[in-house]
Chain A
Amino acid sequence: MTHQEFQGRVSVGDGTTKHESHATAVASVLNAAGLYTIICPVGVTNPQAAKGMSYGGPVISNNSSNDVSEMASQVATNNLRISNHSYSARCGWQWLKAWVWFGDTNVNQTVDWKFGAYTTEAYSIDASAYAARTYLPVDSWEQWR
């Protein structure tokens, strides 16, 4: 909330109190003011390169829990125009400093059915996007192949 790149333009939409670096980074791509000076290429100072795509706009921050409901309600009440959701249902084996199996062995012992599945969540997001013609959700749901 107090980050120099957001300058008080961030509000919390769902009462969450936890902060997460990934969400902050995503918000910066969208809305960072661009105060941080980047030296890139080597030797060339670019004072505004950290600017987000919509660097003056407000950001509503939410955690991923109950997101589909909050997306629809915030479009309806706050006229939300664009949202980013760079998270998705985990599938198959994942290395998280130990191998973790996210599949359902009752369905298949070796292949996870969720790869490419059109889940209820994906359907719900589509329903909101279809209903709200001024809203663009950018979502990584079900991209796992």
Chain B
Amino acid sequence: MKTKTRTTKGIAIVITALAVASVAHAQLKEPPVPGTYYSAKDFEWKPPLPFNPHPRLPVVEIEPGKLLVDDTGVPDTPEQAEARKRHEEAAALANLIAANPLLAEAERAARQAAQEAAWKANKERITPWLVKPLPRAGDNPATRQTIEPETQSRLLSLAAYFNSEHQGVLEEAAKTGTPTELVFLSGERAVLSSFAEGQPLWSMSDSLTQAVSIATAAVWPGGGAGLTSPARTRPSACGKPVASRG
């Protein structure tokens, strides 16, 4: 029993000593030097970091706040090796192009052709979803107003679908005993528009309180109605007839 107590006490003393030593070590250790850390190996093209990525390697302050880490002995990762290879190839090509105007022009033309090909491929990819341009036969307004058979057919099928949805709303209202119209104390009415998650959505007019908060800032001059606007954002009694929302 005595032996056990001694052993426990011994372990506690060791743990305490380790904890005190680690605190003392942490207090003695110098805090990291704030600044921007550059790589000595890739000084020219590797972006600097706001911390030292290799705290154990030597660091030299080359300018106030600008520190150079001697990472020349750190081997490249496969990704870094690939990046270095591509960077060197690009640099060599840039030098070559700079030395030869013909090559520079050929390179520019090749890049332009590649860009145009990419745009063309992209346009072909999205063509099925694009709305076709309006027909402008003879630039005749009457022609432009004509609904194309394809559009008409699409709209009629949409109308039929929306109508079936509306009939579904009416059926659900009848089934659940939900009225299709509410009249409030103010005399205003709300119309059942749909159900969302079983709860009715009620539609009501947006009018007076919304209308007073808008105004016409400008109107075209010289109109037959003779309206003018002081180009202000405050509501104007004369501006009322051209308000866009009732």
Partner of B155, one of A34, A51, A88, A128: A128
Q: Is the beta-carbon distance between A81 and B145 smaller than 8 angstroms?
A: yes
Chain A's interface size range is 35 or more
Q: Is the beta-carbon distance between A29 and B206 smaller than 8 angstroms?
A: no
Q: Lowest 5 CB-CB distances: which A-B pairs, in order?
A: A26-B246, A69-B162, A73-B159, A97-B185, A76-B155
Q: Is the beta-carbon distance between A41 and B155 smaller than 8 angstroms?
A: no
Chain B's interface size range is 35 or more
Taking A29-B244, A76-B151 as known contacts, 13 extra A-B pairs with beta carbons closer than 8 A to each other, sorted by chain A number, are A40-B237, A66-B163, A69-B159, A72-B158, A72-B162, A86-B210, A86-B245, A96-B184, A97-B184, A124-B165, A131-B154, A138-B244, A140-B210
Q: State A81–B188 Cα separation when bound (angstroms).
A: 29
Q: Is the beta-carbon distance between A65 and B204 smaller than 8 angstroms?
A: no
Q: Is the beta-carbon distance between B154 and A46 smaller than 8 angstroms?
A: no
Chain B residues 195 to 238 lying within 8 A of chain A, measured CB to CB, are: 196-197, 199, 201-207, 210, 224-227, 237-238
B204 surroundings in chain A (CB, below 8 A): 87-88, 90, 94
A22 surroundings in chain B (CB, below 8 A): 205, 207, 246
Q: In the complex, what residue of chain A is closest to B192 when comparing beta carbons?
A: A65
Q: Residues 144-172 of chain B: 1 if any A CB is under 8 Å from the residue's CB, otherwise 0?
A: 11110001101110111111011000000
Q: Is the beta-carbon distance between B203 and A89 smaller than 8 angstroms?
A: yes
Asked if A134 lies at the interface with its beta carbon under 8 angstroms from chain B, I say yes
Q: In the complex, what residue of chain B is closest to A36 when comparing beta carbons?
A: B241
